[in-house]
Structure 1
Amino acid sequence: MSTAETATKVETKGYNRGLILGFTMAESMLLLVFCLLLMTGAIIANERLKANNAVKEVARLEDTLKKKEKDLKVLETKLTALSGQISLVDKRKLEEDWRELVEAREAVKALKEQGVERDKIDELAKGVAVLMQKSIDVSDPERLKERIDALLAAENALNDQRRLEEELKAALARGKDLEVLLANAESELEKTQQTSKPHEWPPIISLSEASGYFFRSGSAELTEKFTSDLNGSISAQIADNLKRYGVDIVEVIGHTDEQPLSRLNSNMDKLAIEVLALKKPVTAMGPADNAGLGLARAISVANVLRGNGALEGVTILPLSAAQLVMPGDKLTTGQAGNVETRRRIEIRIRRRDNSVLASE
């Protein structure tokens, strides 16, 4: 091999060593610089974005700071004004005012308990409120809160007091109504006592066959004259006695003689209540003994009296004494015979036993 060929091979080998991925060293350096420039541009753009955001945040914070400074100045102005007011009041004077406030509130409470007029109490309460306002120490927030709580408690107490006063007024009004009712009842009782003589009982009205008040034999049917007298003079006499003696019960008692009845069967148990309720006529009753006959005649008279306007609202009770009670309130010892004076209706009046009603 010649020297020229050897030199050419060596030069070619050296040239190949200067290549990187097919680029020469100069080209590779240029590519590297270009990549670095791209990276630098990206970093710069990112930093600019951050810088812009930071500038905006700074501007926002500056606006907020300016607002806070304005608020701070307003607060400082108020604080200065309050401090100036507080500086005019001696601390000892505050303590004395507070003590006077407590004493004044106690005095107002005592006056309310003693029944002092509301207008007077309101004037005193306004004075207490003025003292309370003067005694507030705004330099001590905790103390200020306590005073505000005390004011609210005082206001609630005053509202409760007003509510209780309204309830008391309503109760007093109801009490006055009850007093009026009691006075009326006492007046009526006094009138009754004045018209009723001590130990004097209402008279018994006796309506016997001997006096012309007849029933048909064995029947409870009234004669026309008997019915007319019951609706006239007899009802008027009963009404007068009810008013005079202050009573409210009329007892109609049927009496018979001792002659037995000829009827074998009685329908009194079945029909007595219906006749008393005016659902059936008196003639429908058929007693089989003197006890039933006395009751049937008492029901007949009671029904006439119950329909009389002079006795409206009065309780009228039909009763039977049968043949057991003689005229003059004597028990029979077995005096048989046809005796007109024993066949009678007795009308007695009395006062209702209210203790029985109260126990039911």
Structure 2
Amino acid sequence: MNSKQLKYAEIFSFIAFVFFVVLIFYQQTNQRLQGELVEAKTKHKFPPNITIQNTGKYAFKLGQANLTPQLEQFIHDTVVPKIKERFKNYKVNIIEVIGHTDGVEFKGISNLDKRLNVVAGNENRRIGSLKAGSNTDLGLMRALAIIKALQKEEEMIQFFKEKGLGNKPMFRAYSAAQLYNTDGTIATSSAKENPSRRRIEIRFTYHEEN
């Protein structure tokens, strides 16, 4: 091999080496990005909701938000274990509770503007001291009643302590009133009773610490 051929061979070897380095870098970068994508998908994958149908022995009394003894027992026996299972298997730290009603018109004089924060902020304040003036009020009161019941569950309090979430995770109460059907579509305007739409929905999200 003459000097010219040797020079070409060296150039070719250098180009092949650079190509190999670039290929390795590309593969490693692609693997890293794929891993980050999988992590992101897992991180933002939320567990299935828990729905409590407000019918039969679990139904609230008309226009009220007090829990029946049967509903309290159902929360203890069924809902709490399901919440613990969600927290074990998913990265979540917020429990959102949404109260849904049917479209039966509700008439009353609300005291939520004066009393809601007092009742929500003090575990000894009874939910029965709140008065609804609309289905929106009623849905919120019932969501708050579920939250207050969950906050008293010793088994769950201990579980969250072990998870490093303190005495309680972040709870948020919302009302959807009569707005949504069970499949999530907007309900038609109807004043007829529809017990299947009366429900409490519990869902889970995650709040990233700053």
TM-score, normalising length: structure 2:
0.70
1:14-55 C-alpha deviation (Å, 9 max, x unpaired):
xxxxxxxxxxxxxxxxxxxxxxxxxxxxxxxxxxxxxxxxxx
Could you tell me which residue of structure 2 aligns to residue 271 of structure 1? 115
Give the letter aligned to residue 78 of structure 2: S
For residues 155 and 132 of structure 2, the distance between their equivalents in structure 1, rounded to whole angstroms, comes to 31
SS at match of 1:254: strand
What corresponds to 1:258 in structure 2?
103
Residue ranges of structure 1 left out of the alignment (5+ in a row): 1-192
The 1-side partners of 2:135 and 2:45 are apart by 32
The question of whether the paired residues in 2 share the 8 Å contact of 1:253 and 1:298 is answered with: yes
Amino acid at match of 1:282: I
Q: Is the 8 A contact 1:326 1:332 kept in 2?
A: yes
User: Is 1:202 equivalent to 2:47 in the alignment?
Assistant: yes
Correspondence for 2:66 among 202, 221, 226: 221
Provide, for residues 237-271 of structure 1, a one-character-per-residue CA deviation record: whole Å limited to 9, x for no partner: 011101211211100100111111131x1101111
Residues 100, 176 of structure 2: 8 Å contact kept: yes
Change (3 A) 1:212 1:199: farther
Query: Separation in 1 of the partners of 2:92 and 2:110?
Result: 35
Q: Which runs of structure 2 are paired with 1:76-91 in the superposition (5 Å)?
A: none
Quick one: distance in 2 between partners of 1:225 and 1:328? 26
The one-letter amino acid paired with 2:202 is I
Q: SS of the residue aligned with 2:96?
A: strand
Specify the alignment match of 2:28 in structure 1.
none
Contact persistence 2:47–2:204 (CA under 8 A): yes
What's the offset of the Cα at 1:311?
3.0
1:48-105: CA deviation from partner (whole Å, max 9, x where unpaired): xxxxxxxxxxxxxxxxxxxxxxxxxxxxxxxxxxxxxxxxxxxxxxxxxxxxxxxxxx
SS of equivalent residue, structure 1 residue 331: coil
- Deviation for aligned residue 1:318: 1.1
TM-score normalized by the length of structure 1: 0.42
Which letter does structure 1 place at the counterpart of 2:193? N
Structure 2 distance, partners of 1:244, 1:299, is 25
Larger relative contact order (CA 8 Å, sep ≥ 6): 2
Q: CA deviation at 1:278?
A: 2.3
Contact 2:46-2:204 at 8 Å conserved across structures? no
Number of positions where the alignment pairs a residue of Structure 1 with one of Structure 2: 161
Q: Is the 8 A contact 1:215 1:221 kept in 2?
A: yes
2:195 corresponds to which of 333, 340, 349: 340
Which structure: greater helix fraction?
1
Map of 1:18 onto structure 2: none
Deviations 1:201-222 (A, max 9, x none): 3111111124642101000011
CA displacement at 1:226 relative to structure 2: 0.2
